[in-house]
Chain A
Amino acid sequence: GDSVTQMEGPVTLSEEAFLTINCTYTATGYPSLFWYVQYPGEGLQLLLKATKADDKGSNKGFEATYRKETTSFHLEKGSVQVSDSAVYFCALRENTGGFKTIFGAGTRLFVKA
């Protein structure tokens, strides 16, 4: 079945460092891809999405490009802030049949001042 694998955390960075959180997927069809974020004490919220190959999703300085050839959707940010400390979830949504969404295990990010 479809699955999502993302790098294990926690990831600890200093403020203004470059961030990459790797995410790869397996899917039989052509899924949509998402990054969700969960800030401390808050619920999950959508960060960005991409619906087809080569699409780039972006929001709040974060970017991720849908790479069909490598089945990847890595999350990047050029300069992290303390306020980016959160848990980040990569997810795919099947676009046929039941439209089920499958989430990765999450990667916790700590940003130090």
Chain B
Amino acid sequence: GAGVSQSPSNKVTEKGKDVELRCDPISGHTALYWYRQSLGQGLEFLIYFQGNSAPDKSGLPSDRFSAERTGGSVSTLTIQRTQQEDSAVYLCASSWDRDQPQHFGDGTRLSIL
């Protein structure tokens, strides 16, 4: 497809379980971002990948959160031992380069029971 693709679109899981969220950026985009949008809140920056450089992880809220980007393309955000406060919409965005506008996916709505 032409846009940023995220999967799953919805995920419901029990507290304490691990979850993996996937992002397929637009082909050729070197920059990839993860954000979290909690109910009624703005977008909270989580992590940023740029090419082969070390990622900017400064927004990850705890060590339960991690992300990787394989081959400079697909990215996976992993949340271990989920907590109820992790419930949110997780958005992925990509851009041609770090100073270009970001294109957003539709997000994954994560609900922790």
Interface residues of A (CB under 8 A from B): 4, 32, 34, 36, 42-46, 49, 89, 91, 93, 95, 98-106
Contacts and interface: CB of A to CB of B under 8 A. Distances in A.
B58 A98 contact: yes
Contacts of B59: 100
Contact of B99 (A36, A44, A99, A106): A99
Given A43-B107, A89-B43, A105-B41, A100 B101 contact: no
Interface residues of B, number: 27
Contacts of A98: 48, 56, 58
Given A100-B48, A103-B42, A95 B33 contact: no
Interface of B: 3-4, 31, 33, 35, 40-45, 48, 50, 56, 58-59, 91, 93, 98-99, 101-107
A105 B106 CA distance: 18
